[in-house]
Structure 1
Amino acid sequence: MIIPAFDFINGQPVRLYQGNYSNQTKYNINLYKLFQIYEKSGVQTIHLVDLDAAKNVKNRQLNIFKNIISCTNIPIQIGGGIRTEDDINIFLKLGVKRVVIGSSAIKNKKEVKKWFKIYGSNTIILALDVVIKDNKKEIAIHGWQDQTNLTLEEIVEYFEPAGLKHVLCTDICKDGTLSGPNTILYKEIVKKFKYIKFQASGGVATLKDISCLKNSGVSSIIVGRSLLEKKFTIQEALKCWQNASLHA
């Protein structure tokens, strides 16, 4: 499915370029009206990211998310600085459908493994953000500010026995660039991990990109900047996704 995405800094919808906080574009949009359009169009999930909390959990933008969740019936998945059970519980009580766990899945693997038992496989999405180096999918954490030596494959294999089902994979070099997605990356990981539902993120600029990603085997596509900058409409994106399935 197509998942519209909104990232927030200080209550403002923004897009970063390749995860760089100093290279951000701000958007003045009416979220309430936009979500009404999405609901009528048949959007099934919206993706929200707290970029302030990703940097520092003390700066969590809880009020903005309370307001957003209260103004739509569309299921919400949310990420950014979710590092404890308390964090998860806060968002689940607000009505969030899924929480996106990033840095903690790397820094506190044993703890996160327990969360799959507590909350279930359908509540937790692992966000694995990668930089491709010498064909290795190396994971970056803490708002992409810190590089690790761990690969995407190592982390998926670690969590798979615990019930891992949903993985949001971003090619950082593509994120916010409108330069086209890394379809090779998604074809590789979908082929290797057949039971994981992958969400592709980064680089989507055209309807053709949506078709290519659908045919790579991913279950969903995160679409941010291209929708905000009207490269295509949500209706066009949804129709393209449906039609692409005929040729998958």
Structure 2
Amino acid sequence: MGYDFTSTDTVHHGVPSMGVTVVLSLGEPIDCGWLHGDARHLCDVLVSGLHTTPALIQSRGRQQGLELSLHPLSTRRLLGLPAGELAGSMVDVNDLSWPRHLLDQLRQSTWPRRFHLLAAFLTKRLEQHPHAPRADLVEALARIHRTRGTIPISGLAQDVGLSRRRLSSLFDLETGLSPKQVARIARFTHAKDLVQRGAQPSDVAAMAGYSDQPHLSREWKSMTGWTLRQSKDDFPLLQDTDMLPA
């Protein structure tokens, strides 16, 4: 997705999601850090692995760029390393294997041309690295997504023909998180969607599989840095800014 908006000293919360996030700035470098961290990063192209705490992105003035959400099992082919090496971290793509001239081309192009260039680049990367991820791991992630994180991990391992220990080992290698942590993100994502559609917290807790509303509230604060009430009043997520369709 493309974004183009103007703000004055706004902090966007990048909440946990099921994808590896890539943000390509077409203007000033991205000013980002973790909610409970002291370090700040300035990146032209930000890559953020799977995480369970919010990222804080400072916006000043006009912001233009493109945001991608990559399947965690695609990063070996698209970024040159497994998502497990990116978990809980923020990396400038200059530290990876993407060419600098791609960002220069995107900055000099129109929006339709930008989408075309980026799609062509990603397609070429996939063609250059055709090795497919393990089918059992693909299925395990798909089942977590389909069940919105409510599937028991022991049942998940049995369904895909792996021991629970082997499943956890593969998840750690390829995503950097345990199956339980990934399921936690999937459940939160479902809860976030329900809240943003106007559902009441008590209903969200039941529909998203939390034990009760206090359980939802604790998870929400941990994942977003806000209480549910604060989120309903003001939810300036980077994903919710004005987007341009690809």
* Pairwise same-fold verdict (TM > 0.5): no
| Structure 1 or 2: more strand by fraction | 1
Q: Which has the higher contact order (CA 8 A, sep 6+)?
A: 2
The higher radius of gyration belongs to: 2
| Structure 1 or 2: more helix by fraction | 2
